[in-house]
Chains A and B, each alone.
Chain A
Amino acid sequence: MLKELYQYRQLLKSNVRKEIRGKYKGSFLGVLWSFVNPLLMTLVYAIVFPFLLRSSQPHYTTFIVMAVLPWTWFTSSLAQGTNSILVNGGIIKKVYFPRSILPISIVTSGLVNFLISCIIIFIFLLFSGIGFSINIIFLPLIILIQYFLQLGIILITSSIDVYVRDAEYIINFFVSLLFYATPVLYSLDMFPQKLSMIMQLNPLATIISSYRNIFYYQTPPDFLMLGYVAILSLLVLFIGIKVFNKLEKGFAEEL
C-alpha cells in the first residue's frame, strides 16, 4: 500500500494543494480565512467565557488560542474527511487511483494549515510575555500523534459514509459533544482527580493538554498519557487501514 502511495505522490501533492487553495476560492481573503476563522472564534470565547467561568486563568486568550487551533484542525479534517469519498464520487467511478489518497490529502492539508497557524500561537506567546521554553521540541511529536489519530478516524468514517450517509450527521453531533468534553476552553485540573482521569480517556484531551503543557505551562507533556494516546492512535490507524481496504472495493458501485 505504501509503495503505491509513493508512486502516486504527485497526485497526493496536487490534491493537498487543491484542498488548501480551492477551499476558499472566490472569497476576498482566500486562504487567510483558514486563520481568520479560528482567530475570530478565539476572540468570541475570550470575551464570553471569562464572564461565565469566572476563570482566573491568566492570559486567557493565549490559554485558549493554543487549544482552539489544534481543535479546528481536528474538526475541519473530520468534517471534510468524512465527505471526501462521497464528493469525489464522479472520479472514483471513472479512474483507478489509490482511494486512500483522498482522506490522506484532507488530513495533510489540515496539517499544513495547522503548521502555519502555529505562528499565531507563537505570536500570542511572545506578546503575552509567556515566552518560549525548550519544551517546544516536543511539538512535532504531539502533532504526529494527532495526525495519525485523525487519519485513522477519517479512514473509517469516510468509507462508512459511502454506505450509510448518516455517518456525517452522527459525527457532527459527536464532535460538538466532544468539544465540551475536551479541555479547549478550560483546563483539566479544574476537576477533581478522579473525574479528570476519566476525561483523559478521551485522546484529544491528552493531545490538547500536551500542547498546553509545552506552550503555556512550559513543562514536558505527560509522557505516560501521551504514550497511551500514541498507542491508541496507531491502533486506530491500523483499524482504519483495514476497514478502508475492505470497504473501498465497493466504492464505485455504491456511489
Chain B
Amino acid sequence: MKCDQARELILTDYMDSEPGCGLRHEVDEHLRQCVSCCEFREVAREKIIGQFASARVEDPPEFVWRGIREKIMSKAGVSHGILANSAAAIRLAFSSLLSIPRPVAVLVAGVMIAILLLSAAPGMRRRALYGYLNEQITFIANLDDGEADGSDIFDTDIQIGADNFL
C-alpha cells in the first residue's frame, strides 16, 4: 500500500473504525513500516478526534419550546377561529330568519308562491281572463235581445271592447 492511499484511509474509514473498511489490516501493515504515516496518524488523531472529544452537549433553552408551543397554539386558534366564525355567521343568518313573526312569514311565503306560479304559467292567466270576458259579453248580449231598449250604443261599445280583447 502506498502512503497516499494509507493516509486517505486514515482520514476516513480507518480513523472511524467503519466496519466496511476491508483494508484495515493493510493500513496497519503499512504503518508498521512507515514512520511518516505513523506521525500523520498521530497528528490526525490529535487535531481531529481530540478536538471534538470534549464537545459539550446542551439542552435547548426553555424559551424554545414555549415559542414552538405558542406558534402551534396560535395557528390552531386561528383555524378554529375561522371555523367558529363561519359557524356563527350561519347560525346568525338562520336565527334572524326564525325571528320573523309566524303570520307575516306565512303571508310573505304565500305571496311569493303566487308570484312564482303566475310568472311560471302566463298562458293560464290569459285563458282565464278571456273566458271571464266572453261570459260577460254573452250575458250582456242576451239582456239586449230581450227587453232592452235604446241600448244600441251600449251593445256596440261592448262589441268593440270584445274585439279589442279577442
Q: Do A and B come from one complex?
A: no
